[in-house]
Chain A
């Protein structure tokens, strides 16, 4: 039988509902899981999630649009979040930011054409004593200097595949 994207998404969300439950409080964990896997929450995902939890899709959209780590646009495989808050700013975030833009060929808020990297600003990441700080997916890089940027990006490219997906498995345990 032909599996439509619709059915596949439904199945995925049903499985998540089995894990997190079927009342409204399960919504955000479900959306977080979808975001992790797909890099965004599609209209289809929002419709199906709404249907399973018995709420209006507009409600789901309202939730997705509220949270910085959820989004309706496809992210790159690696989301690089650079802290822009005061301690990292004083520690020299501007040079690192510039180098990230140069090496990736994109600006903050954009995704590389190959779909590998998204570059975003973030507010205080909780690493203020060791800034400038970067969060790449779930991994922190601290005391980052501009000349380390190329190595960090290389590390990501190599992690593409097995290790990058590791964290997602642990997530659902």
Chain B
């Protein structure tokens, strides 16, 4: 059985179906993009790129040719990234369970903004059980004229959405790997530039947005950019969903404005005695108790929403090891720093585990981690050393001179 994870009512719950879309269609695409930019909405998938700006780039990319575009009906694409593979993240699953309608509506609005006629949801294979319900919802939206040709009676704006499945590869959440996968290839990240907004799916301009980002769009349209900006911080406007797991009394999905401190969050979830919190999943940062005053926002602790709480009894080396095993398995193997580096770090962690790592070798491992952050081709390898590095920095006393447990 799957437990209902939402803690308290999410703001999503009160949104009226179609209201955001109607507001969007009342504007020109250019005005709509300005509005989304004005709200300051940033991507909820982790990187925090300004959503309106991404849409603006894709809107500006020339359609292959107007005639060819209408003929094929596929001039540009809106992709919803529902690959949710970051350890400790499950808020997209909750959104797709309770508020998928908003995600579809956000995609439709994006389609209108950039001039796309087709949307694709890339859903992780693990969430296959959601497919029948999602398809039913798409059908209902078609029946109500919220998808299809002339959406909501808007002459000349047709849009439809299909669902495509992932097949068990974390790296496919990276947007260029996701596109490779949709095109029928191995999910290996591409060099950027060119960016997907320019050369995306099938070589066409494509916006890739996270599930949560898209779901917020109709709400912001209904309630106004001022409402959104009144929440959060100056550089991280609005609300954010957090997936909270680990050693706390009430794990689940929480909604908070950006800018709260780690301590605030721990209080809300009943994790008061935590010794550390991993913010941002395996690729995020391990924050020790002395730093619980830090803020969760793009300008301080940036996150896609994964929060994992470690209680006083946890062995931080085991935590680092678990994360590193994850990256060794999930690296696509395309570039050397990531392919080899993660393995070397894991071996180093095992040496620490058995009390066989010299201080100077640990220094070398740290250097290697820093090199990987710079030299890896995509975000996976660039961030895979983060957890290890922050644990080495903050929990050295737990790592050094260990004796092997019998």
Task: Say yes or no: is B167 at the interface (Cβ < 8 Å to chain A).
Answer: yes
> What separation, in Å, do the CA atoms of A124 and B326 have in the docked complex?
9
- Which one, B132, B170, B308, contacts A123 given CB within 8 A? B170
> What separation, in Å, do the CA atoms of A66 and B93 have in the docked complex?
24
State which residues 311-330 of B face A: CB under 8 Å: 314, 318-319, 322-323, 325-326, 329-330
Contact present for A69 and B88 (CB under 8 Å):
no
Contact present for A129 and B182 (CB under 8 Å):
no
- Which one, A53, A86, A129, contacts B243 given CB within 8 A? A129
Task: Say yes or no: is A170 at the interface (Cβ < 8 Å to chain B).
Answer: yes
Distance in Å: Cβ of A144 to nearest Cβ of chain B: 10
Contact residues in A for B90 (Cβ distance below 8 Å): 126-129
Contact residues in B for A53 (Cβ distance below 8 Å): 184
- Which one, A29, A131, A135, contacts B245 given CB within 8 A? A131
Contact residues in A for B87 (Cβ distance below 8 Å): 85-87, 123-124, 128
Contact residues in B for A68 (Cβ distance below 8 Å): 167-169
Task: Say yes or no: is B1 at the interface (Cβ < 8 Å to chain A).
Answer: yes
Task: Say yes or no: is B64 at the interface (Cβ < 8 Å to chain A).
Answer: no
Contact present for A135 and B126 (CB under 8 Å):
yes
Of the candidate stretches B246-254, B350-358, B368-376, the one touching chain A is: B246-254
State which residues 107-156 of A face B: CB under 8 Å: 122-131, 135, 138-143
- State the interface size on chain A (CB cutoff 8 A): 43
Contact residues in A for B170 (Cβ distance below 8 Å): 123
Contact residues in A for B282 (Cβ distance below 8 Å): 85-86
Task: Say yes or no: is B401 at the interface (Cβ < 8 Å to chain A).
Answer: no
Q: Tell me whether A90 and B246 are in contact in the complex, defined as CB-CB below 8 angstroms, given that A28-B167, A67-B167 are known contacts.
A: yes
Interface string of A44-88 (1 = CB under 8 A from B): 000000000100000000110011111000000000000011110
Contact present for A63 and B184 (CB under 8 Å):
yes
Task: Say yes or no: is B84 at the interface (Cβ < 8 Å to chain A).
Answer: yes
Contact residues in A for B175 (Cβ distance below 8 Å): none
Contact present for A142 and B169 (CB under 8 Å):
no
Contact residues in B for A62 (Cβ distance below 8 Å): 186
Contact residues in A for B247 (Cβ distance below 8 Å): 90
Contact present for A28 and B181 (CB under 8 Å):
yes
Contact residues in B for A140 (Cβ distance below 8 Å): 1-2, 129
Distance in Å: Cβ of B204 to nearest Cβ of chain A: 12
- State the interface size on chain B (CB cutoff 8 A): 59
> What separation, in Å, do the CA atoms of A47 and B115 have in the docked complex?
39
Contact present for A129 and B314 (CB under 8 Å):
no
Contact residues in B for A138 (Cβ distance below 8 Å): 128-129
Main secondary structure of the interface of B (DSSP, over half): mixed
Task: Say yes or no: is B202 at the interface (Cβ < 8 Å to chain A).
Answer: yes
Contact residues in A for B184 (Cβ distance below 8 Å): 23-28, 53, 63
Q: Tell me whether A129 and B3 are in contact in the complex, defined as CB-CB below 8 angstroms, given that A85-B87, A90-B314, A123-B329 are known contacts.
A: yes
Distance in Å: Cβ of A166 to nearest Cβ of chain B: 10
Contact present for B169 and A129 (CB under 8 Å):
no
Contact present for A142 and B186 (CB under 8 Å):
no
Closest B-chain residue to A120, C-beta based?
B168
Contact residues in A for B332 (Cβ distance below 8 Å): 66
Contact residues in B for A28 (Cβ distance below 8 Å): 164-165, 167, 181, 184
- Which one, A25, A70, A86, A142, contacts B322 given CB within 8 A? A86
> What separation, in Å, do the CA atoms of A94 and B322 have in the docked complex?
13
Closest A-chain residue to B186, C-beta based?
A66
Task: Say yes or no: is B89 at the interface (Cβ < 8 Å to chain A).
Answer: yes
Closest B-chain residue to A86, C-beta based?
B322
> What separation, in Å, do the CA atoms of A130 and B94 have in the docked complex?
13
Closest B-chain residue to A87, C-beta based?
B245
Contact residues in A for B322 (Cβ distance below 8 Å): 84-86, 89
- Which one, B89, B125, B128, B165, contacts A128 given CB within 8 A? B89
A-B contact pairs, 28 of them (CB 8 A): A25-B183, A25-B202, A62-B186, A67-B168, A69-B167, A69-B168, A85-B322, A85-B326, A86-B308, A90-B247, A90-B314, A123-B329, A123-B330, A124-B87, A126-B124, A128-B243, A128-B245, A128-B308, A129-B245, A129-B251, A129-B252, A130-B3, A130-B251, A135-B126, A138-B128, A140-B129, A142-B3, A173-B135
Where the two chains meet, the residues of A that have a C-beta atom closer than 8 Å to any C-beta of B are 23-29, 32, 53, 62-63, 66-70, 84-87, 89-90, 122-131, 135, 138-143, 167, 170-171, 173
Where the two chains meet, the residues of B that have a C-beta atom closer than 8 Å to any C-beta of A are 1-3, 5, 84-90, 92-93, 124-129, 131-132, 135, 164-165, 167-170, 181-188, 202, 243-247, 251-253, 278, 282, 308, 310, 314, 318-319, 322-323, 325-326, 329-330, 332
